[in-house]
Structure 1
Amino acid sequence: MSAYKLLVVVHVLVGAVALVTFWTAAWLRKGTPAHRTTGRVYLLAMLGIVVTGAPMAIVRVVDGHPVTGAFLGYLVVITATGVWTSWRAVRDKAAPVRFAGPVYVALAVSSLLAGAGVLALGVRVGAPLLMGFSAVGLLTGADMLRRRRRYVRNEAPPRWWMVEHYTAMIGNGIATHIAFLGIGLPRLLPGVDGSVLHYLAWFGPLGAAVVAKVLLDRRWKPKTPSAPSVPSPARARVA
């Protein structure tokens, strides 16, 4: 077995661990020791995906597949961003300024630039998949930089760390399921591969993630206080 094939095998194995532990942590009661332990295993598996995915992207470029290699590198960037953010949000929940430090900025800028690069590449080669999926990096990077302004001013809203954590975990879930549905499943079941399944595998998890984000925000994200209403002069005279 060549070194590259061994790398792929390890990548697939840690991906399987990530898929199982993602759903295990999702169904466990949040904040319990079992949830925290499973979440740590999941993030370690995702770290393994990043560590093995980076050299795989380089090999694809060297082998004469620059588009595939570039896209794999893009996935490594946004996955690394989600892994770090979901971990540090919990560790730094009492220190939002520290959370939004140099590493946070570097990951935000990297996501933004990687998204822009994939968008340009998609336009150049006429690949709708690249153009559509570039939005993940673009929106993630821009939103991180926007939120950072509040954190460094010590204006973080209540439960900010929880919102950061589940938002990043949703992003991690996108990467986990895309890797399984778009890359692993067609290899396991070649008969189900096809253009429709291909795009569904890539954009289906993205759509599900948007729904999950909206539902979780409704439950946990602090509401922006509305401005107090000013009584009209007529009502003031009646009063």
Structure 2
Amino acid sequence: MDLFDALIAVHVIAGATGLIAIWVPILTRKGAASHRQWGRIACYGFIGAGALAVVMAMLSLYAPDGRHPTIADRRVFEGLFVWMMLFLGLLTIGFADYGLSVVRHARRREALRHPRYQIVMLCVIASALWCGYFGAQIGNMLMIAVAGLGVTAMALQQVFVWRTNPPSPQAYVGEHFRALIGMGISAYTAFMSVGLIRWVPEEVFNPAIWAGPSVVGVSLILWFTHQTSRKRKSRAPLISEARG
């Protein structure tokens, strides 16, 4: 087993841990002990998998050894398995880091303006812009699309971090949920498009593989937003009565 194969093995273990664990906090009662415990397991698993994805992307760039011979165009190979893999790894790390930190600093949002957090988000944005640019150069719309989603997601996080008017006390909950769902989307997309393709390389450009995680993730975000809105509206009359 060479270095790359060893990294893949550890990457798969870390990613599989996150892919399985993420469903426990999604399906269990929010704030419960199991929610917090399995949420941390999912985040740390994805952070490990994302970091290894970055390492493997750099190895693929500087030490290409004929991987994925079914992709004859090596520029396409570089786009998908170097720059997009690098971006998806950083995006997964960025979502996981933000999802954990927004809870840690729930009562002091200004802490997220610290360089320690800003550098992570800026690295994601930089890798997304390069991924989109490289995708435009080789005419690959998939790279452009995922890069656009990454830039949009990081921009929305920055809006929350830097907004001048104070958010509601529970605003961090929505940020936390959306970040961790985004983490799941990026990780599942990486698995489906980079990992699974190793076994079914003929499906590398199948749009259903790329769109599937995003459809599920966005649906969960919309459902959560709807449920939160209903709860907020149901509490509003009770608050008004209490004040009256």
TM-score (norm 1): 0.82
2:72 aligns to what? none
Q: Alpha-carbon deviation of 1:154?
A: 5.8
Q: Is residue 223 of structure 2 the alignment partner of residue 211 of structure 1?
A: no
* Cα distance in 2 between the residues matched to 1:105 and 1:220: 28
Match of 1:178 among 164, 167, 189: 189
Give matches, 1:137-176, under 5 Å: 137-150=150-163, 153=164, 155-176=166-187
1:164 Cα shift?
Answer: 1.2
1:232 maps to what in 2?
none
Contact 2:197 2:204 in 1 (8 A): no
Q: How does 1:15-30 map to 2 (within 5 A)?
A: 15-30=15-30
- After TM superposition, the runs of 4+ consecutive aligned structure 1 residues lying more than 4 A away are none
Partner letter of residue 114 of structure 1? S
Residue 91 of structure 1 deviates from its aligned partner by 0.9
Structure 1 residues 44-103: Cα deviation after superposition (integer angstroms, max 9, x where no partner): 111211221121011011134532211111112211110100111111111111133223
Structure 1 186/137 Cα, relative in aligned 2: closer, same or farther at 3 Å? closer
In structure 2, distance between residues paired with 1:93 and 1:11: 31
Q: Determine which of 196, 199, 207 is the counterpart of 2:207.
A: 199
Q: Which of 69, 92, 108 matches 2:121?
A: 108
Structure 1 match to 2:67: none
Q: Which residue of 2 aligns with 1:235?
A: none
Cα distance in structure 2, aligned partners of 1:51 and 1:5: 15
Counterparts of residues 88-99 of structure 1 (less than 5 Å): 88-99=101-112
Deviation, structure 1 residue 8: 0.5
Q: Which amino acid aligns with 1:156?
A: P
Higher Cα Rg, which structure:
1
Partner AA of 1:170 in structure 2: I
Offset of residue 182 of structure 1: 2.3
Which residue identity lines up with residue 201 of structure 1 in the other structure? I
Report the residue type matching 1:5 in the other structure.
D
Scaled by the length of structure 2, the TM-score of the pair is 0.81
Contact 1:110 1:141 in 2 (8 A): no
Contact 1:111 1:140 in 2 (8 A): no
> How many positions carry a matched residue from both structures?
218
**1:233 corresponds to:** none
* 1:143-186 deviations in Å (ceiling 9; x for gaps): 22222222xx3612231211111011111110222233223334
Secondary structure at the aligned position of 1:30 is classed as: coil
Residue by residue over 1:93-144, the C-alpha shift from the partner in whole angstroms, topping out at 9 and shown as x without a partner, is 1111113322332233223222221111111001111011111221022222
CA contact (8 A) 1:107 1:141 kept: no
Match of 2:86 among 73, 98, 107: 73
Instruction: Pick closer, same or farther for the CA change 1:204–1:8 going to 2, 3 Å.
Output: same
Structure 1 gaps of 5+ residues are 224-239
Q: What is the alpha-carbon distance in structure 1 between the residues aligned to residue 161 and residue 153 of structure 2?
A: 12
Cα displacement (A) at 1:29:
1.6
For the Cα contact (< 8 Å) 1:170–1:209, is it kept in 2? yes
CA contact (8 A) 1:96 1:154 kept: no
For structure 2, the 5+ residue unaligned runs are 65-76, 233-244
The answer to whether structure 1 residue 9 and structure 2 residue 22 are counterparts is: no
For 2:158 and 2:102, the matched residues in 1 are separated by 15
Identity, % of aligned positions: 22
